[in-house]
Structure 1
């Protein structure tokens, strides 16, 4: 495998979606994929943690169970392992084939959940990212919304994957401010979308942002 620091330029386009829990990312990634496919693009829709067989196995470890099941440091290692497998098995092959990859969460979520919100680990997150991942998205869509509304939506899904939602509303508020700070830090690749609106209105703004970027 090619090492992260020697990654070649790839002909495809890598688009990620970020935001607090319940911000509507999964719905909007699907709608964007359908829109781009209607325009003739080859699209791979994927997610993190997950997106490959090995990464999906790790997903159940980090998203299920009690909130204190893992420390933030252990989570960082698990998420990085899942991301590396996801890159090797799914993302890089698709980008090499010239496809558009749309991913629900990527490294920015780790910068927030483990780097900011669950401890002061941002420096370690960035070092490990440079060492083992070495890839940033071409474009990141940040769906910003009221943390209380987002958490209520997320809890309303009633799935087994609620470990991070169980940390409560304080984490969601901290995450929201952290994501907004990230959008300023990486303003060239971030597009901020107001998620406090209808699904169609949000989808329309996302289509405009992505179409403008691809053009």
Structure 2
């Protein structure tokens, strides 16, 4: 890989420590002198943030699964058009809190929507755009939900049953196993110092590979 713009995503179930991970990755990229856009999904644009409110809030509890899926991709289409693609085209790196892997995990494995239907939307909305590196923060679901419950009241997704999150986690792990060239799995159940060391090692190795 060259020094061209790079697209990095961070994934994981609730309470996995994505915020800590994102902060460390951001610092290491900026320390290397790279321009960087840090963003999130759903969200990242004014329209996307409005859709995020609809998706995460409880005003529309009982939303149809297909509606949820299409709103996710509507937000993503705007995100790509308004922020991600312009940043990458300008040579900036992009670091995104969740991307399409989350849709496969939550709407596919979690909700049970056919993965081929998600793939069709992915190809339509994204073309050939895929992350160059995806860091998966993995930990037992019960641990993650306990952590998430301490920080705020549960949103519409966090209110799902435990079995839902077990399916989400297994979906993430299945994708990581199928695409080892892109995914790096972090054991997020370990102490913070160990987790940050794992992340630092992944980013350092990524830069080393980029230089070769």
- The gaps in structure 2 that reach 5 residues or longer are none
Q: Which residue of 1 aligns with 2:141?
A: 147
Structure 1 outlier segments of 4+, above 4 Å: none
Of the three residues 170, 173, 192, the one matched with 1:199 is 192
Corresponding residue SS for 1:45: strand
- The gaps in structure 1 that reach 5 residues or longer are 1-9
Of the three residues 7, 10, 15, the one matched with 2:8 is 15
The answer as to whether partners of 1:18 and 1:104 remain within 8 angstroms in 2 is yes
Alignment of 1:34-53 (within 5 A): 34-53=27-46
Structure 1 distance, partners of 2:181, 2:29, is: 22
The answer as to whether partners of 2:28 and 2:203 remain within 8 angstroms in 1 is no
Q: Which residue of 2 aligns with 1:136?
A: 130
Q: How many residue pairs are counted as aligned between the two chains?
A: 205
Corresponding residue SS for 1:165: coil
Structure 2 length as normaliser, TM-score?
0.91
Structure 1 length as normaliser, TM-score?
0.90
Structure 1 distance, partners of 2:152, 2:109, is: 26
Structure 2 distance, partners of 1:52, 1:207, is: 29
Of the three residues 24, 35, 54, the one matched with 1:31 is 24
- Post-superposition Cα deviations, 1:70-106, rounded to whole Å, max 9, x if no partner, equal 1111111000000011111111111112222111100
Is 1:99 aligned to 2:92, yes or no? Answer: yes
The alignment's C-alpha RMSD in Å is 1.7
Q: CA deviation at 1:67?
A: 7.4
Q: CA deviation at 1:196?
A: 0.9
Is 1:121 aligned to 2:114, yes or no? Answer: yes
Structure 2 distance, partners of 1:146, 1:174, is: 12
